[in-house]
Amino acid sequence: MRCLQGGLLLVLAGSVSAQRASKPAAGRCTATGDLEIHALRSEIFHNTRQLRVLLPAGYRDSANASRRYPVLYLNDGQNLFDVCTAIFGPKEWQVDETAIRLIAQGQVQPLIIVGIDNAGRHEAARLQEERRVGSRPNEYLPWPDSGLDPFLAVVHGMDYPRFLTAEVMPFVEGHYRVKTGPDNTGLGGSSYGALITLYVIQHVPGVFGRVLIESPSVYVDDYHILKEAAERRDWPARLYFGAGTDETPADSPLQLPADVHRVVALLERNGVGRDRILVNITPGQHNEDAWASRFPTALAFLFPNRP
């Protein structure tokens, strides 16, 4: 694993083995594959976060020196590859293990996966609104969430599309051999990270053609995201939706599978054919274990290996 700080690439450890136990020992880090970590300073959010870039096998081979790869950007980068960096407990999406396996099996085309770290846990943030430095909800919420405790009256998710297109994507495209255009560019996330994904694809249409939505928080501000999308026609070419049947108590008015079907119904009314949509509802709670279990289906649908 390599880490770039201030333009200097530091080798933290060699690329680790692609094999590991499914349940790592307590305190044992789980990142694998050719993973590079960069510090990105954001002038939009006035803070610094890590970008975690997983490269496909063979990326550095001389035979592939001119080859370019599609790219999938995923929110909550801390939780994607390693239990040692995960911020909501020792669980991770196992994005590295899944991508390595499915590419090797020929089910998924070789691609670059970029994990974009969030701005940190809400309760630890100590927001300073005048400097616009803050937490994960501050950056992922386009509108305040009345159920958030402690409540944030001012949020800045409306700046996230510009953060992606003006800061994250130019950095990645300047450092790696990525294919461009919506057919080669994906975006995804879970929970608030899925909400901001839906917001982004509406506000910068034609940039992301492959979208991963897991357990989306579409309820925020009385389903504002769906009201905003009611008449939209320019949707990405492939849209994956996942949710678990055990994410909330059975008597809760908020049920994630129902909300996913609500989004899909809107898309169908707006002319999106079911051949462009995959809905994956499984047993599972609102956590990284469930998102990890569904990620292979999502990745194979969004980036299938074509002959």
Nearest residue to 263 via CA among 220, 226, 302: 226
Buried-state track 41-63, b at ≥16 Cβ within 10 A, e below 16: ebebbebebbbbbbbbbebeeee
233 part of a folded domain: no
49 part of a folded domain: yes
- Please report how many Cα atoms fall inside a 13 Å half-sphere around the Cα of residue 297, on the Cβ side: 18
| Per-residue model confidence (pLDDT) at position 306 | 81
Type and span of the H or E element at 47 = strand 47-55
Q: What would the mean pLDDT of 3-18 be, rounded to a whole number?
A: 36
What are the DSSP calls for 49-103, one per residue?
EEEEEEEPTTTTSGGGTT--B-EEEEE-GGGTS-TTT-SSSS----HHHHHHHHH
Q: What would the mean pLDDT of 99-115 be, rounded to a whole number?
A: 98
Q: How far apart are CA 155 and CA 201, in angstroms?
A: 19
224 part of a folded domain: no
24 part of a folded domain: yes
266 part of a folded domain: no
238 part of a folded domain: no
Nearest residue to 13 via CA among 120, 30, 26: 30
- Express each pLDDT in 39-87 by its tens digit: 999 999 999 999 999 999 999 999 999 999 999 999 999 999 999 999 9
Domain CATH for 178: 3.40.50.1820
201 part of a folded domain: yes
The two tokens of residue 132 are 């616009």
For residue 168, give the DSSP letter. I
Angle made by CA atoms 225, 87, 80, in degrees to the nearest 5: 75
Q: Cβ(198)–Cβ(192) under 8 Å? A: no
Which pLDDT band holds residue 1 (cuts at 50, 70, 90)?
low
The two tokens of residue 199 are 């917001």
Domain encompassing residue 177: 2-218+288-302
The two tokens of residue 272 are 């999106």
| Per-residue model confidence (pLDDT) at position 5 | 41
First to last CA, the chain: 31
Q: What would the mean pLDDT of 262-285 be, rounded to a whole number?
A: 96
Looking at the structure of the chain, the number of domains it has is 1
262 part of a folded domain: no
Which pLDDT band holds residue 307 (cuts at 50, 70, 90)?
low
Percent of the chain with pLDDT over 70: 86
Q: What would the mean pLDDT of 111-127 be, rounded to a whole number?
A: 77
